[in-house]
Amino acid sequence: MEEYLLAPFLAWVESHQGWAALAVFLLAFLESLPFIGFFVPGSALLIGVGLLVATGALPALPVVLAGMIGAALGDSSGYFLARWLGPSLLRRHLPSRWRRPYGRAVLWFRRWGWWAVFISRFFAPLRAFIPVVAGFSQMTHGRFQSANLLSAVIWAPLVLSPSYVLSWFAELPRGLMHMTLAADWVPCTTPLLAPEEFRLNRLIDGSPLLKAGMI
């Protein structure tokens, strides 16, 4: 269905640029709604709009802002709906054999839910599902919105104006680029490498070759 919608949709957006921001807002909003989001091919259409932005056919700022607001409001709608319905509704209709796994899932989500909300933004099948789980698990409003807003601010430029993001990164001074990569990867890899280095040092310290002065 996406291939049949993409070309007519992009042609309409290009010829009605004044409505482009509203169209992007509705796509990002509907794609993030529970249940409805599973049937809206928003990702393909939004990436197509991003190509129009990259070629200069559409202005980047209003389109990206509309994507941010629509995505954040869509996730918030699913979250508040689930909180309003309450976990009691889910437990009332949940088979008894699933109640213990449900309780464990709620405990897990209360611990790792912030990352689940943040990461789900970048995976279309999860985008309309995880905010509902956050609401049913009674995730606090502050934690949810911090992950929701931050992920929307990052997601919208990546989808709708990738050329600007890539050009900004390419224009960084080489030294700053290396520092950025190091800042991202060194803290992540050091805890993984440190135990191996510690075991290697212990192995070398206890080696007969070291005692014999050969290393």
Residue 191 pLDDT: 40
What is this structure's pTM? 0.69
* 50: three-class secondary structure by DSSP: helix
Query: 159-209: per-residue pLDDT in tens?
Result: 887 656 665 555 555 554 444 444 443 443 334 334 433 343 443 344 333
- Tracing tokens 């897990």 back to the chain, one arrives at 108
Question: At residue 164, what are phi and psi to the nearest 5 degrees?
Answer: -70, -40
For residues 114-120, average pLDDT: 91
Q: State how far the Cα of 34 lies from the Cα of 74, in Å rounded to an integer.
A: 8
Burial class, 10, CB count within 10 angstroms (exposed 0-12 / middle 13-18 / buried 19+): middle
Q: State how far the Cα of 90 lies from the Cα of 136, in Å rounded to an integer.
A: 8
Query: 75-105: per-residue pLDDT in tens?
Result: 999 999 988 887 777 767 666 776 776 677 6
- Return all residues near 58 (Cβ < 8 A) that are at least 6 apart: 13, 14, 17, 20, 49, 52
DSSP 32: T
